[in-house]
Structure formats: C-alpha cells, structure tokens
C-alpha cells in the first residue's frame, strides 16, 4: 500500500436531527441564500417545508432555484448566477443529489466570474479565484459530489 496524506475541506454533520443545526451553519456566511433543488422529491418527503421553517425562523432570506434536472444544464447555472447577483445572495444551499450539488458548485464559482459560466469548463479551473460558500443536504448517495471540487454540467448547444 502507498502512503499518502489526504485533506478534504468539507465539514460533515451526520446523524439524527443534524438538520436542526442548519441555520447556525448558514448564518456564519450571511443572511441570504440561494436554495437550489431538483424537481420536487424534497417537497414530497417534507424536507422542503422543514428547511424553509428553519431558515425563516432564523431570519435568513431565501431565494429559490427549483427544477435542477439530472445532468444539470448550463441554463440553470446561468439562472442561479443571475439570482445571486440580483438578490445579494451570500451562500448557497443545495438539497438533493449530485446534479443539484454540481449545479450549485458552478453557480458559486460563476457569481464572481465576469464571463459566461460555461467558459469555466472550457478554460479550466484556473479561472476560478473565489466562490460563494456552499452547504449541501444530500438526499441521494453515490456521486461523491458533496466531497469534491468537480462538477458536471451539460451544454445542450454544444
């Protein structure tokens, strides 16, 4: 076996009732978030209402970007970047699986990029100099997106 050191700068809160710490974790970064989620399973599970109740009680302003598709599209990223800029969003909260998280990661980087966020994929991550903080609530395991700095985004035009 090879020896190695591995650092992942991801804080993980895992276990029963950890969602009760959501507001205090987000509050570290500001009082407004972009709430990014998919096509509605979090509403069926009751998670959507729980999250909004926690955030509203804490006085955190919520801007929503619903409907992120599997294999997220660059159009959702562009919409999210514009929402962040228009509303002075300070943090993102992605609730869902890898596609939702990948979309939110790209939005977080795209907010500070002067060009089109798609260019970040063409020119490499050297163009990313800063990003908005991102929290995730993982509802589907398997992609590992919550633990890495990569993202997969689809551009249907290309």
> Rounded to whole angstroms, how far apart are CA atoms 36 and 52?
12
Q: Are 34 and 83 in contact (CB under 8 A)?
A: yes
* Residue 126 pLDDT: 66
Say what the pLDDT of residue 50 is. Answer: 97
Average pLDDT, the chain: 92
Q: What is the Cα–Cα distance from 78 to 88, expressed in whole angstroms?
A: 15
149 band by pLDDT with thresholds 50, 70 and 90: confident
pLDDT of residue 150: 87
φ, ψ of residue 154 to 5 degrees: the values are -100, 135
- Rounded CA-CA distance 90/87 in Å is 9
pLDDT reported for residue 124: 64
Q: What is the pLDDT of residue 145?
A: 87
- Cα Rg of the chain (Å, integer): 16
Give percent of the chain with pLDDT exceeding 70. 96
* pLDDT score for 140: 87
Model confidence pLDDT, tens digit, residues 99-144 = 999 999 999 999 999 899 999 888 665 678 899 999 999 998 888 8
For range 29-51, the mean pLDDT = 95
Handedness of CA 25, 90, 52, 105 (dihedral sign): negative
Q: What burial letters (b/e) apply to 92-115, b meaning 16+ CB within 10 Å?
A: bbbbbbbbbbbbbbbbbbbbebee
Which residue from 54, 59, 38 is spatially nearest to 140, judged by alpha carbons?
38
Which one is predicted more confidently, 124 or 41? 41
More confident residue, 7 or 71: 71
Which H/E stretch holds residue 63? strand 61-65
Distance separating alpha carbons of residues 143 and 19, to the nearest angstrom? 21
| Class at the top of the CATH hierarchy for domain 21-133 | alpha beta
The structural domains of the chain, with segments of one domain joined by +, span: 21-133
Burial of 124-134, coded b for 16+ CB within 10 Å and e otherwise, reads eeeebeebbeb
């Amino acid at each position: 076996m090879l020896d190695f050191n591995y650092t992942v700068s991801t804080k993980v809160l895992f276990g029963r009732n950890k969602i009760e710490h959501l507001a205090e974790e987000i509050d570290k970064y500001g009082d407004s978030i972009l709430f990014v989620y998919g096509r509605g399973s979090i509403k069926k599970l009751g998670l959507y209402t729980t999250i909004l109740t926690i955030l509203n009680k804490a006085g955190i302003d919520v801007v929503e970007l619903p409907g992120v598709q599997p294999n997220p599209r660059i159009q959702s990223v562009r919409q999210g970047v514009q929402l962040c800029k228009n509303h002075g969003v300070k943090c993102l909260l992605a609730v869902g699986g890898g596609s939702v998280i990948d979309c939110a990661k790209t939005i977080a980087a795209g907010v500070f990029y002067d060009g089109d966020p798609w260019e970040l994929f063409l020119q490499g991550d050297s163009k990313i100099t800063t990003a908005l903080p991102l929290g995730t609530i993982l509802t589907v395991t398997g992609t590992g997106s919550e633990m890495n700095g990569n993202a997969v985004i689809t551009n249907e035009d290309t």
